Amino acid sequence: MEPNTLLDAILDEAGISHAGLAVHINQLGRRRGLSLRYEHTAVARWLKGQRPRGQVPDLICEILSDRLHRPVGLDDIGLSRPGTRRAADTPLSGFVERATALWRSDEQQRPHVLSAPALTGTSAVMPVWEWENPPEDSDVSRSGLTRVSMADIEMLRSARTHYEQMYRKAGGVATRARIVGFLNNEAAPLLRGSYTDATGRQLHRATGGLVAVAGICAYDSDAFGLAQRYFHQALRLAKASGDRGLGAYIIALLVNQSLFTREYRQAVAFAEAALRAAGPQITAALATDLYAMQAKAYARLGDGAGALSCIRRAEAAAERIRPGLEPDETGYVQPGLVNVQVAEALLSLGDLRAAQEQATAAVDTPAHDRGRVHRLAILAHIELRQGETEKAVASATQMAEQARGMESQRLRDRLRAVRELLAGTGSSATDAAADLIDEALRVPL
């Protein structure tokens, strides 16, 4: 079920509690000859995505219209009649209201949003299909109270860079609340503002980049369903911007999450969609990452030939990277990234010697703080598998020291995996390295 953030937002605007709404529904129902006995628990279920029965959606609209002194329809409360229109088919203005309602619910730590499960099947694939296929947005202009300027758009771009750097240094857990607050306080009013088609496309692109980072932070905080919804929002914003390269970058984020959740075939398919649909707008750096992630997916599927083919494509694309010609979003594709990605693929294929060569090359290349922890973790893993305990202890020690102070569930996963491997060796040197990892893991999130 999809959390009903629109209903949550409008109840908050109207100042009606869950219990209060239930009482109003029961009272209005009695005046209509209905015997209703709803409680606050029923409202909580509706916010999680369950649809109220019978006439209740219409009663909710009437109650809210009376309280807010304006017409409130089923679309406004997220309860359109089944079969009339899918959320993805709503106009761009409707999408903006749904998107900003999610941001608001996230900032307010609503449990039905934070714990929402990841979408699967058609619901997971459809946003990618809709990004790739027509129709396009012919005009994204909008009339609102606030005139959006290029200074506003530049502010959004600067904020994306700021929060991305914060994520790399402090982790997604620490960064998430800050970027979600920014989306609510700064980006949402601009999306509801007044702008021409040309300005609107740049506004949607800048906001899409920010929403993508919010998704990364949610993913790094173990909120996988929420992260997926942010990525889907960012993809819709990318389509409105007309920037295929941005859309391909966002799909790369979905590919990465698919790898983590072991949806390997989906990872391959999504990467293919990005490479196919972005065409000439895809940059060498992004192509490098997509091919490398495909290689990891194929390796996990046991398809050695497919993995090696993608490794060759990733390495060829990496040679074409020109940093000065890359957009800000692909800055994460730093020297050494393809090496560590290839090392993971080769590790899955069982080629430990080649994997170690790639991982060593990755560690020997400068990287930002977060990337270095990841590279050291992979190298330590491979060295332990190779039986090179002394080298593994040195790598694990550097990894633990580098990770200290970072609030990231994904890096904690890396640390725990290396910790488990160290525990199996039973030497005093590995015990000391394990203690350092334990110390890093004791930092509360």
pLDDT, tens digit only, all 445 positions of the chain: 789 999 998 998 889 999 999 999 999 999 988 899 999 999 999 999 999 988 999 999 999 999 998 888 898 899 987 655 444 445 898 899 999 999 999 999 999 899 999 999 999 999 999 999 999 999 999 999 899 999 999 999 999 999 999 999 999 999 999 999 999 999 999 999 999 999 999 999 999 999 999 999 999 999 999 999 999 999 999 999 999 999 999 999 999 999 999 999 999 999 999 999 998 889 999 999 999 999 999 999 999 999 999 999 999 999 999 988 899 999 999 899 999 999 999 999 999 999 999 999 999 999 988 999 999 999 999 999 999 999 999 999 999 999 988 999 999 999 999 999 888 776 777 888 888 899 888 876 6
Q: What share of the chain is helix, strand, coil (3-state, %, to 5)?
A: 75, 0, 25
- 3 state SS of 344: helix
Q: What is the DSSP letter of 185?
A: I
- 3 state SS of 120: coil
Note whether 292 and 336 are within 8 A (CB): no
How far apart (Å, rounded) are the C-alpha atoms in residues 134 and 131?
Answer: 8
Q: Which residues pair with 195 in a beta bridge?
A: 142
Question: Helices 5-14 and 56-68 meet at what angle, rounded to 10?
Answer: 40
- Cα dihedral 85, 87, 90, 93, rounded to 10, equals 150
Query: How does 328-360 read in b/e, with b if 16+ C-beta sit within 10 Å?
Result: ebbebbbebbbbbbbbbbbbbbebbebbbbbbb
How far apart (Å, rounded) are the C-alpha atoms in residues 402 and 123?
Answer: 39
Largest CA distance in the chain: 79
Query: How does 242-263 read in b/e, with b if 16+ C-beta sit within 10 Å?
Result: bbbbbbbbbbbbbbbbbbeeeb
Q: What are the start and end residues of each CATH 1.10.260 domain in the chain?
A: 5-85
Tokens of 355: 């994997």
87 Cβ contact list (under 8 Å, min separation 6): 2, 95, 98
What is the residue whose two structure tokens read 């916010």? 47
The vertex-271 CA angle with 311 and 416, nearest 5°, equals 70
Return the number of other C-beta atoms located less than 10 Å from residue 374's C-beta. Answer: 21
| Range 5-85 classified under CATH 2.40.30 | no
365 Cβ contact list (under 8 Å, min separation 6): 334, 335, 336, 339
- 3 state SS of 197: helix
Note whether 174 and 407 are within 8 A (CB): yes
How far apart (Å, rounded) are the C-alpha atoms in residues 219 and 263?
Answer: 15
- What confidence tens digit (pLDDT) does each residue in 237-278 have? 999 999 999 999 999 999 999 999 999 999 999 999 999 999
Note whether 394 and 384 are within 8 A (CB): no
Amino acid in position 403: A
Amino acid in position 297: A
- What confidence tens digit (pLDDT) does each residue in 175-217 have? 999 999 999 999 999 999 999 999 999 999 999 999 999 999 9
Question: Helices 121-132 and 264-278 meet at what angle, rounded to 10?
Answer: 10
